Structure 1
Amino acid sequence: MGDIRRRGIVALGVTGLVAPLTLALGAAPAQAASCTTQAGPYQKQVEKFLGRPVDGKQSGADCSAVRAFQNKHGITPNIGYAGPVTWGVMNLMNKQKAVGNKPNKAGACPTNKGRIACVNLTLQISWIQDGSRLVYGPVPVRTGRDGYETRTGLKKIYWRHLNHVSTIYNVSMPYSQFFDGGQAFHSVGVSMWNPPGSHGCVNMTSTAAKKYWSLLKTGDDVFVYGRKPGT
């Protein structure tokens, strides 16, 4: 690949290392430095997810558990409020877990392409398959946020760069495998459930990105479908 083309690709590099979305919680307390005493609209659902007593009432222990979850996944404000974003992340986790080892049960990702990396935006998961045989995954991923959506359709990996650095955001994008302009698989150091999402790339944990790097090559197919929640 010539220097001009390579510089162009580097300039298109995108990253998932974006600041968490600041939420407007309506009636929720405005203070971000202390734990809220107010029950949120998804109090019971959140309590059940966290294994707390399900009574729909906010307690100090409830708030501490919710805050720990929010801090782990970069959800702000992290005041322990059981709001729509916190529950949305938990609900997505439940749906991902329900997929089990049959991510392509509905047959949405093509099975006539040989080796292919599939990305389900709706469930925020990805996997690699050979025909109908699951090779690796599914793993949770973090795709493009509203306004920077990961583009859907059938694509091919056209460039791989082990130690790529985005010249737009000046951040590292290890194990980058580009499949659509500046959109690529690559690892990030944040939670896969960290809202609001990437600038278009398919973010992965380091473990998953390394595995994708070892299993895929230039010319392999990528199929992206569905719609990320909130976009």
Structure 2
Amino acid sequence: MKRSSAIRRAVLAAAAVALVVTGCTDRTGGSGGGSGGGGGGSTPQSPASAPASAGSDGKPSSPAPSSSSAAPSSPSSSSTPSSAKALMKDGDENEQVRELQARLRQLDLFDRAPTGFYGSITGKSVAAFQERRGLPVTSTVDAATWELLLSLTKEPTADELKPSTTNKLDTPDPRCMTGRVLCISKESRTLAWMIDGKVVSSFDVRFGSENTPTREGEFKVEWKAREWTSTIYHTPMPYSMFFSRGQAVHYSADFAARGYAGASHGCVNVRDRAKLAALFDQVKPGDKVVVHW
């Protein structure tokens, strides 16, 4: 009995410690309208552990396809939307998608920085290209679409693939249209501070890596800290607005310095300190946070 009581006390003490751990990761587990824990029980990474070769969405980059090797042979003229194999489609995320977006941007068909993620915005851009060039409009990239795009554009430069320019806001998620909301889009890599459906201010943001993802879903600002240091990674997190078990919106000096070459440990990083300081003063605990694609 004494041994059982000692074990029970030890478990309860460990749980109490876990509840106060903060710093862009989830050490408590559980549910919460997200895509999974940011850190789980994995060994903490060092503050600068995000690989220099990480993609602009914070995930490790695959080797960028060359124009010559990436283009498959043309299908026969009898190919139809139902029979043509999709090389890139909704939900894909890789460096070939980033090249696709950069090439579409050269033709003024993609009006934001490439993200490497094939979502609805990319699908609409592909459909517009296909319609303009007389191809079957499928919103997916088959061999004919890819080869024609390669012939009409030049190989993207490093700056075109990962520009440092401000991102264009995504169409707000329906959940962002009422009340006071931090509306955060993973596809456009933006945060819009919205009140009753109107954008008050906006920011470039970056997210967690594949191993420490930023959770998606609807949350609330739980608490704020003007000055905070991660209790896990021991790195500064100024203007933190916590919304999901240790994950927060906060300023990142690393994001300001390296841009999308790095990633967070699950938090939503902002690189404009002055603008975030103004936002911090406006946001109140209880305000809605929506993280979506």
Q: What is the match of residue 21 of structure 1?
A: 52
Output the amino acid matched with 1:118. C
Q: Deviations over 1:88-132 (max 9, x none)?
A: 423x858x24x4xxx43x5544212x1111000111100111111
Could you list the runs of 4 or more consecutive aligned residues of structure 1 that deviate by over 6 angstroms after TM superposition? 4-7, 82-85
Structure 1 residues without counterparts, runs of 5 or longer: 29-41, 50-81, 227-231
> In angstroms, what is the RMSD of aligned CA positions?
3.6
- Map 1:4-83; keep pairs closer than 5 Å: 8=18, 10-14=20-24, 18-22=49-53, 25=63
- Map 1:84-95; keep pairs closer than 5 Å: 87-90=160-163, 93=165
Q: What is the match of residue 56 of structure 1?
A: none
Q: What is the match of residue 264 of structure 2?
A: 198
- Map 1:96-135; keep pairs closer than 5 Å: 96-97=167-168, 99=169, 103-104=170-171, 107-112=173-178, 114-135=179-200
Decide whether the 8 Å contact of 1:17 with 1:188 is kept in 2: no
Q: Deviations over 1:131-179 (max 9, x none)?
A: 1111111x10011111211111110001111111112111111111100
Output the amino acid matched with 1:204. V
Output the amino acid matched with 1:200. G
SS of residue paired to 1:186: strand
Decide whether the 8 Å contact of 1:185 with 1:203 is kept in 2: yes
Give yes or no for the alignment of 1:136 onto 2:209: no
SS of residue paired to 1:214: helix
Output the amino acid matched with 2:241. Q
Cα distance in 1, alignment partners of residues 241 and 280 from structure 2 = 8
Q: Percent identity?
A: 26
Match of 1:183 among 239, 247, 254: 247
Match of 1:159 among 223, 230, 234: 223
Cα distance in 2, alignment partners of residues 110 and 223 from structure 1 = 7
Q: What is the match of residue 34 of structure 2?
A: none
Normalised by the size of structure 1, how large is the TM-score? 0.59
> How many pairs are equivalent?
167
SS of residue paired to 2:275: helix
CA gap of 1:17–1:84, structure 2 versus 1, over 3 A, is farther
Cα distance in 2, alignment partners of residues 85 and 108 from structure 1 = 35
Output the amino acid matched with 1:201. C
Output the amino acid matched with 1:185. V
Normalised by the size of structure 2, how large is the TM-score? 0.48
Displacement after TM superposition at 1:182 (Å): 0.9
Output the amino acid matched with 1:89. K
CA gap of 1:220–1:21, structure 2 versus 1, over 3 A, is same
Cα distance in 2, alignment partners of residues 153 and 202 from structure 1 = 13
Q: What is the match of residue 217 of structure 1?
A: 284
Structure 2 residues without counterparts, runs of 5 or longer: 1-13, 26-46, 54-60, 67-98, 107-154
Q: Which deviates the most, 186-195 or 9-18?
A: 9-18
Decide whether the 8 Å contact of 1:10 with 1:166 is kept in 2: no
Decide whether the 8 Å contact of 1:20 with 1:194 is kept in 2: no
Tell me which structure has the larger Cα radius of gyration: 2
Match of 2:237 among 148, 173, 176: 173
